[in-house]
Amino acid sequence: MLKSIDEAVGKQGEPGAGPHSSKQVRIMPFQIRHRQQVYELYGKIFSERSRVGFEARWEWGRENDLFFDGGAKWVLVDNDRVVGFLNTVPLAYRIGGTTLTAHTPADYMVDPEYRFYGLQLMHQFFRTCANCVSADDVPSTIKVTEWLGAKRAGRLVGYVKVLDGRALRQHERLNRVPLLAQWLLTGALGLRDTVRLAGRNALHVEPLREFDRRLEKFFLRISQRAPAMPVRDLRFLQWRYGPTSPHPTREIAVVTDGGGNLLGYVVFHLSVETHRGLILDLLALPEAGVEVPISLMRYAVKRLRAEGAWTVRYFASPGAMPVPDLRRLGFIRRGDFVLSVKFADPGIQTIATRPGAWNYSFGDSEASHAFI
Amino acid sequence: MHSSSDGPRRPTSSERTSRSPRTEVIAVIHACITTQLAKGSGHEVAADTPLIQNGYLTSLEAVELVMFLGEKFGIEIDPEEVNEHNFRSISSIATLVERKLEAE
């Protein structure tokens, strides 16, 4: 995911400063000698605190390169000073029966004094990467992406569920609600969920320590229904959610049939620092019935509450879970992600932009790495 | 700047200012920049004010301006053309627009 174009260029770029009358800005492939300057740029634009997480994720990406291609990376330099950066994340996709690699833009950042030049990075991305998949929630970024040729292919519908009144502290306008009111709200929310999440017909949900071969069979069945989706084989899942992934504390749970075959699974994660729970993946076989995703969601919410989550975020693929049931479980709409794609092959592009073609989870995107 | 939902409607051929004199082109760009892009900055933006050097134009704003000009004048500006040379000032953007209109 790209950060907001505005956010990623920082806010301190005051018009009129004009300190760069002799800019020598050019774009070039990232080289290892730029790494420290990219870290420093991240710290300058976002925060020194978040820089630690960025560096850790960078190291993880280097040591766990799923495609062994390093991904394309570019820097904007003024003379020899790094003033902008764009990373890409390659992933395998299966579209219309063809397996191919597509790249997702990531870690976009531009020094606030060089705000105009950021477009060069995005233009370079679309010019270089034959196949592009982008999931973003910032309208301005989506607008730039589409102007550069990507087409909307789907939407991850955003939902949030409040579990604890202390979540109000994180709200821009409600953060001064008295402590007593926060406690009362927490009690009311808990009582409500005791009723809502009880689920008389709830299926047995089983925690899973690691992904196993059953997942591959499950995804094979999913892919027979979805013309476009990431290749979620065991290798990908281990990379994405395994013990060495950016989400090492994630939990996995599954629902199976009588024969041990998977009917659905959920992956969720709690950010201990922010008390925010996140449903990274929730998928179920359509023929298994709506009780499968509902049971998985109930389980995830209960676990996240027990672990100390104040809120739970979920980005639903179309058809992943019935909207009325999400509302019944206490989820409210809040902020969508738009999936935009650009494939070099016109036939692939046609399939990939058909309504309802995609089976795509929030966890498939680089986006979720930002929630560590 | 106009968002995709409330953006300007595409003008009819008679409404297009494709044959407008340079001053009119400059006036349109100036109005867009001063009312939307440099809004609230309190700075005067003249035809030759350096837009990029002074930080008036971010890449997003440049794209929004390109979309606006496309709607207003019925022209198409390629990503390669959104560069420091063509977007240096209102005057240089007007030159680009004029060149596009002449090429039609």
Q: Looking at this predicted complex, what is its ipTM?
A: 0.73
Q: Which of A119, A132, A142, A145 should one mutate to test binding to chain B, selecting the residue with the greatest count of B CBs within 10 A?
A: A119
Q: Within a 10 A sphere around the Cβ of B97, how many other Cβ atoms?
A: 24
Domain containing B99: what range? 22-103
| Rounded Cα–Cα distance for residues A10 and A8 (Å) | 5
* Residue-level pLDDT at A239: 84
Quickly state the pLDDT bin for B7 (edges 50, 70, 90): very low
**What does the alpha-carbon distance between residue B88 and residue A336 come to, in Å, rounded to a whole number?**
36
CATH of the domain at B39: 1.10.1200.10
CB A87 within 8 A of CB A29: no
- Can you give the pLDDT at residue A22? 60
Does residue B53 lie in a domain region?
yes
User: Which residue type is seen at A239?
Assistant: W
B95 inside domain? yes
Mutation choice for A interface testing from B33, B43, B44, B53 by most A CBs within 10 A: B53
User: pLDDT value at position A85?
Assistant: 95
Q: Are residues A128 and A163 in the same domain?
A: no
Q: Which domain CATH number covers A112? A: 3.40.630.30
Query: In 3-state terms, what secondary structure has residue A317?
Result: coil
Predicted confidence band at B38 (pLDDT cuts at 50, 70, 90)? low
Instruction: Give pLDDT, residue A321.
Output: 81
d(CA A194, CA A141): 40
CA-CA distances (angstroms) from residue A54 to A43, A62, A133, A216, A360? Answer: 9, 12, 22, 31, 25
Per-residue pLDDT, A101 = 92
The pLDDT of residue A60 is 82
CA distance to partner chain A, nearest, from residue B54 (Å):
4
**Which residue from A minimizes the CA distance to B59?**
A116
CB contact under 8 A, A119 and B3: no
Among A97, A114, A149, residue at a domain's last position = A149
Q: With a cut of 70, say whether residue B103 has pLDDT above it.
A: yes
Considering its fold, how many domains does chain A have in total? 2
Q: In chain B, what residues touch A144 (CB-CB under 8 Å)?
A: 59-60, 63
Of A13, A25, A140, the CB nearest to B60: A140
Cβ atoms of A236 and A230 closer than 8 Å: yes
Beta carbon pairs, A and B, within 8 Å: 80
A283: left (phi over 0), alpha (psi -120 to 50) or beta: beta
Of A124, A149, A174, which marks where a domain is finished? A149
Same domain, A104 and A134: yes
A66 CB within 8 Å of a chain B CB: no
Domain boundary among A125, A149, A173: A149
Q: A95 by DSSP, 3-state: which?
A: strand
Q: Is residue B5 a part of any domain in this protein?
A: no
A132 and A177 fall within a common domain: no
Q: Three-state SS across B27-89?
A: HHHHHHHHHHHCCCCCCCCCCCCCCCCCCCCCHHHHHHHHHHHHHHHCCCCCHHHCCCCCCCC
Pairwise CA distance, residues A247 & A266, whole Å: 14
Res A99: pLDDT: 93
Q: Quick one: A326 and A178 in the same domain?
A: yes
Whole-number pLDDT of residue B13:
46
Give, in order, the Cα–Cα distances in Å from A124 to each of A87, A196, A346, B86.
Answer: 11, 49, 21, 18
- pLDDT category of residue B97 using cuts at 50, 70 and 90: very high
Query: Residue A247 is part of which domain span?
Result: 157-371
Q: What is the pLDDT of residue A12?
A: 38
CA A301, A302, A308, A310: dihedral to nearest 10 degrees?
Answer: 40
CB contacts of B63 in chain A (<8 Å) are 119, 143-144, 147
Return per-residue pLDDT of chain A as tens, 372 residues.
Answer: 444 444 444 433 333 344 445 668 899 999 999 999 999 999 999 888 889 888 888 888 777 777 656 678 999 999 889 999 999 888 899 999 999 999 999 889 999 888 889 899 999 999 999 999 998 888 888 889 999 999 999 999 999 999 988 888 777 777 777 788 888 888 888 888 877 766 656 789 999 988 888 888 898 888 888 899 998 888 888 888 887 777 777 899 999 998 889 999 999 998 888 899 999 999 999 888 889 999 999 999 999 999 999 999 999 887 678 888 898 889 999 889 999 999 999 999 999 999 889 988 888 876 556 554
The beta-carbon neighbor of A147 closest among B54, B63, B80 is B63
A6 touches chain B (CB under 8 A): yes
Q: What is the pLDDT of residue A81?
A: 95
pLDDT score of A372:
46
Task: Tell me whether residue B59 is in a domain.
Answer: yes
pLDDT at A1: 47
The answer to whether A86 and A122 are in contact (CB under 8 A) is yes
- The sign of the CA dihedral A364, A365, A366, A371 is negative
For residues A127 and A236, state if they share a domain.
no
Residues of B with CB under 8 A from a CB of A: 3-4, 38, 41, 43, 50-60, 62-64, 66-67, 79-80, 82, 84, 87
Q: Can you tell me the distance from the alpha carbon of B94 to that of B29, in angstroms, rounded to the nearest whole number?
A: 7
Beta bridge partners of A29: A74
CB atoms B56 and A15 under 8 Å: yes
Least confident of A87-96, A278-287, B49-58, B78-87: B49-58
Distances (CA, A) of A84 to A2, A25, A43: 13, 10, 12
Does residue A113 belong to the interface with chain B, where contact is any CB pair within 8 Å?
yes
For chain B, how many structural domains are there in total? 1
Three-state SS at A286: helix
CB contact under 8 A, B58 and A20: no
Mutate to test the interface with A, among B52, B60, B65 (most CBs of A within 10 A): B60
Q: What's the gap in Å between the CA of A148 and the closest CA on chain B?
A: 7
Contact between A259 and A292 under an 8 Å Cβ cutoff? The reply is no
> Which residues does chain A have within 8 Å of residue B87's beta carbon, measured at their own beta carbons?
116
Which pairing describes strands A276-284 and A311-316: parallel, antiparallel, or unpaired?
Answer: parallel
Q: In terms of domains, do A263 and A241 share one?
A: yes
- A309 near A165, Cβ under 8 Å? no
